[in-house]
């Protein structure tokens, strides 16, 4: 197998190939994280990648950093402990739609509320892939899953709106098709001193695609190409945004960061004594 220099530098080659299905978008999303890290020339020894459980969360094992593959939904809680204990570390969380919005929804909103300097990348494939295609909090209403054989009656979450409302200070959305945009958004997230939430819209031809007759991976990627629109365009011409997936930088509003606020308490107490 021939590997590019980028792969050799940042991946654990012994653990490749990855376990994702042919046509899955997750590999592209993972590579956007790597490209962002490479563009920013971050020190590998100083990076922690923390993940939960599910297809997305297998990413941590392939990347050559300090990596922690945790329990279902809890990646952000583990990551909060690491970042708070050692704020010098660059902490990245890789999660999925089920992982961060269902079982880990509480941890997502509270990590965002604290504005702790963690960059979260949510691989959203609209389904529970690892367990075989059950509907998730981002499965659109009316769509099918193995546990929604008559159509999903739940309303779905907009993950970016959720993160923004909860207090994330940088929010963006890219896709497996818009990979260079996604890389840029992750770079911005890593540069934001606070809680950053980047949604990477993926494609799951094996489960979500098959259950909902979306066709091949190529067809699903073409759908992303044709149905996404950058927020900058919609800001000028709102009518173009109708029934489209909004991508690009969605929110950017710097606020005091959690571990720095705590440092101020420590500083205050050391002056008193």
Partner 1 sequence: MSNKKAKLLQGNEACVEGALAAGMRFFAGYPITPSTEIAEISSQKLPALDGKFIQMEDELSSMAAIIGGSLAGIKSMTATSGPGFSLMQENLGYATIAEIPCVIVNVQRGGPSTGLPTSPAQGEIMQAKWGTHGDHPAITLYPNSVEEIYNTTITAFNFSEKYRVPVVLLLDEVIAHMREKVTLKDTSEITIIDRKKPTCSAEEYVAYRADDNDNIPSMASFGEGYRYHVTGLVHNETGFPTNDNKVADKLIRRLIDKVENDIDNLSIYEDYKTNDAETVIVSFGSVSRSAKSAVNELRNNGKKVGLFRPITIWPTLEKQILEISKKAKTIYVAEMNLGQYYYEVERIAGKYCNVKKINKVNGELITPNEIISVINGGN
Q: List residues binding partner 1 (CB under 8 A).
A: 12, 15, 44-46, 48, 50, 60-61, 64-71, 74, 76-86, 88-89, 106-107, 110, 262, 265-266, 269-270, 273
Considering beta carbons, is residue 38 or 64 the nearer one to partner 1?
Answer: 64
> 174: Cβ–Cβ under 8 A, 6 or more apart, which residues?
32, 181, 182, 183, 184, 185, 186, 198, 199, 200, 201, 247, 248
In angstroms, what is the minimal distance from the CB of 266 to partner 1? 5
User: Whose CA is closest to 162, among 111, 201, 232, 94?
Assistant: 111
Neighbour tally for 103: CB within 10 Å: 17
In angstroms, what is the minimal distance from the CB of 139 to partner 1? 24
Tokens representing residue 144 in the block: 């099918």
In angstroms, what is the minimal distance from the CB of 20 to partner 1? 15
In angstroms, what is the minimal distance from the CB of 194 to partner 1? 16
In angstroms, what is the minimal distance from the CB of 143 to partner 1? 29
User: Whose CA is closest to 50, among 36, 34, 66, 37?
Assistant: 66
Neighbour tally for 225: CB within 10 Å: 11
What is each CA distance from 61 to 30, 52, 123, 273, in whole angstroms?
11, 11, 15, 45
CA distance 198 to 100: 12
In angstroms, what is the minimal distance from the CB of 14 to partner 1? 8
Please provide residue 57's backbone torsions phi and psi, each rounded to the nearest 5 degrees: -75, -5
């Amino acid at each position: 197998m021939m590997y590019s220099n980028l792969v050799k530098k940042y991946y654990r080659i012994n653990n490749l190939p990855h376990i994702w299905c042919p046509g899955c978008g997750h590999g592209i999303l993972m590579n956007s994280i790597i490209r962002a890290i490479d563009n920013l020339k971050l020190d590998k020894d100083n990076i922690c990648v923390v993940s939960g459980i599910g297809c997305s969360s297998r990413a941590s094992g392939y990347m050559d950093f300090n990596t922690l593959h945790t329990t279902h939904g809890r990646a952000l809680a583990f990551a909060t402990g690491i970042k708070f204990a050692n704020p010098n570390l660059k902490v990245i969380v890789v999660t999925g739609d089920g992982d961060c919005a269902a079982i880990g929804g509480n941890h997502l909103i509270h990590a965002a509320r604290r504005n702790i300097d963690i960059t979260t990348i949510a691989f959203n494939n609209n389904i529970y892939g690892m367990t075989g295609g059950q509907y998730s909090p981002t499965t659109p209403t009316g769509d099918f899953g193995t546990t929604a054989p008559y159509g999903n009656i739940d309303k779905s979450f907009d993950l970016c709106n959720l993160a923004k409302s909860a207090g994330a200070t940088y929010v963006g959305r890219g896709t497996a098709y818009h990979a260079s945009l996604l890389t840029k958004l992750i770079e911005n997230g890593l540069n934001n001193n606070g809680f950053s939430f980047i949604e990477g819209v993926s494609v799951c031809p094996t489960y979500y695609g098959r259950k909902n007759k979306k066709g091949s991976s190529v067809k699903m990627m073409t759908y992303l190409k044709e149905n996404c629109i950058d927020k900058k365009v919609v800001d000028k011409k709102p009518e173009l945004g109708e029934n489209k997936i909004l991508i690009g930088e969605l929110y950017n509003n710097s606020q005091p960061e959690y571990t720095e606020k705590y440092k101020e308490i420590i500083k205050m107490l050391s002056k008193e004594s």
